[in-house]
Chains A and B, each alone.
Chain A
Amino acid sequence: MRNIVTIMDKEIKAYFSSSMAFLAFFVFLLISGFAYDFYVMKVHLSEMTQLFWWMIYLLMLIIPAFTMHLFSEERRSGTIELLMTYPIQDWEVVLGKFFAGFALFIGLLVMTFHFPLFLFMWGNPEPGRIIGGYIGLLFLGATFISIGVLATSSTESSNTAWVITAGVLFAFVILGSLGMVGSGSVFKFLSYVSLIEHFRTFSFGVLSSRDIIFYLSVIVFSLFLSIRIVEIERWKS
């Protein structure tokens, strides 16, 4: 447990010593701000649903940037040799890095709280939908991050990790859209597998166990696979 916190601590500090995190935050908040301006100020919607969807698409580009270096940079600089020879287990390293990404993501979400704040000040939004939306984003973000960790654990290049993560996330979106096209069981499956389709119920203010289980399953699966990959690399003969 202590080791997970130590790794998480180190990674979070690292985020703030480079300009990448600040830049990503800036871009995200700026574009979200434009979206808010459009949907709320111009179109006069008193809800955040459309804004949430915008943020999701932004996150598919931004979260890969949070996770791309987590293992890849350690490999490139050689620090992985020390990390792997310290008395720390592989799963502790993976979880520590995952939680660091998640903590950064939570920080980012908190910085969007001015949006609902303004909505409540000047409008009459449904609180359930907004709270549900944020909870959905939490799960969705954690899922994106876990996929990002999987990608970075399998490559030495941060850039490749970004491409793999963003690619996988968008692939799921496309699959999900395909699922909307028809109504057979294949299409139902594709719909189910889509990461962002499960967000819908959250945005309606509903916390469904089906969706929560889905996200948790993906997270556990991705992290489990990441741990395996790190272990296998250690024992490659």
Chain B
Amino acid sequence: MIEVMGITKSFGDHVVVDDVSFTVETGEILGFLGPNGAGKTTTMRMLTGFLPPTRGTAKVAGFDVFKNSLEVRRRIGYMPENVPLYSDMTVSSYLNFVGRIKGVDSRKLNQQIDSVLFTCGLREVKNQMIGHLSKGYKQRVGLGQALLADPKILILDEPTTGLDPRQIAQIRELIKSLAGGHTIVLSTHILPEVNMVCDRVVIINNGKMVAQDTVESLTKQLTKSQMTSLTVHGPVKLIKERLKMVEGVLVVETHATEEEEINNYIVHAQLDRDIRSYLAKSVIDGGFGLLELRSHQLSLEDIFLQLTTKEGQQVKLN
């Protein structure tokens, strides 16, 4: 549905997006992940026809974003970062305006507006001036206008920024419910969001694409060691020494918990055998209280840090 091939954007000498390529299959939700200034918004602006690529091409629904911009725009719903809206219009009249521009048949327009008002929880504010709405409601209006005319492709730039946890959960549920029937590209720097909502993720840093895959694949690829998490009651130094002595252990990280004398240990070990029971035995034989033991998976945060920061390349040592 979306093909991006070697897209580059520079402003003068400053290269903001550098040779990025990825695809999005029909019905997929793709997460665009990256720190601020990575090039996510610029890439999205190229997909929607707001900015032209300096080099490379992108196709949305088979149409080139530069050569057939109008055809592309007919098929997308876009929610820009910072959700720009006309503050002097009411929610309903604004949605009416957008619906007409998007070419919604006038007989179906009111029905579609009602549907969007309902889906985005805007019914109670439909006659309020947009300028008087809270940020949460404005964000929902922004999402609502993207949904009008039921475009097959949605491009959402940080759709949950600035919302409270309950609103964030609602928007995520909404986005998930749209999967399958819609192709969605959403950008975010909230890591858990990607896990919860997206099928695949593209990680961008400094304009370059750093990874493109499902979260599971990425985790497998980047897991270089077996990791086990233990929560133990007892003196830190001694416990750490005992754990280090288990065969195959490479590194032991320690983290304090809120409770005194209880600490969390992340043990990195070679991948060749399962050392969990040996770790447990070691702790118990030492007379220490083993409170919790579980396999520790690389979190998306770990993956992200590994791929985007130099410090992330090294495992933290104590």
Which A residues are closer than 8 A to B by beta carbons? 2-3, 6-7, 9-10, 13-14, 17-18, 77-82, 84-89, 234-237
Could you pull out 28 A-B pairs where Cβ atoms are within 8 angstroms?
A2-B100, A3-B100, A6-B100, A6-B101, A10-B86, A13-B93, A17-B89, A18-B88, A77-B84, A77-B86, A78-B84, A79-B85, A80-B84, A81-B45, A81-B80, A81-B84, A82-B78, A82-B80, A82-B84, A84-B49, A84-B50, A85-B49, A87-B102, A87-B103, A88-B101, A234-B50, A236-B52, A237-B53
A86 close to B88 (CB less than 8 A): no
Chain B 39-74 near chain A by CB (<8 Å), digits 1 or 0: 000000100111011100000000000000010011
A85 close to B48 (CB less than 8 A): yes
Which chain B residue has the least Cβ–Cβ distance from A7? B101
Chain B 74-87 near chain A by CB (<8 Å), digits 1 or 0: 10101010101111
With most chain A CB atoms within 10 A of its CB, the pick from B45, B48, B84 is B84
Which chain A residue has the least Cβ–Cβ distance from B76? A85
Interface size on B, as a range, is 20 to 34
CA distance A87 to B74 in the complex (A): 5
A237 close to B82 (CB less than 8 A): no
Cβ of A9: which chain B residues have Cβ within 8 Å of it? 97
For the complex, is B187 an interface residue (Cβ under 8 Å from A)? no
The B84-110 residues at the A interface (CB cut-off 8 A) are 84-89, 93, 97-98, 100-103
For the complex, is B145 an interface residue (Cβ under 8 Å from A)? yes
Least CB distance, A37 to chain B, in whole angstroms: 36
Cβ of A81: which chain B residues have Cβ within 8 Å of it? 45, 50, 80, 84
Given A85-B49, A87-B101, A237 and B88 contact (CB-CB distance below 8 Å) = no
Cβ of B48: which chain A residues have Cβ within 8 Å of it? 85
Cβ of B87: which chain A residues have Cβ within 8 Å of it? 77
Which chain B residue has the least Cβ–Cβ distance from A92? B101
A86 close to B52 (CB less than 8 A): no
Contact of B102 among A10, A17, A77, A86 (CB under 8 A): A86
Contact of A237 among B54, B70, B86 (CB under 8 A): B54
Which chain A residue has the least Cβ–Cβ distance from B103? A87
Contact of B50 among A13, A77, A85 (CB under 8 A): A85
Cβ of B103: which chain A residues have Cβ within 8 Å of it? 2, 87
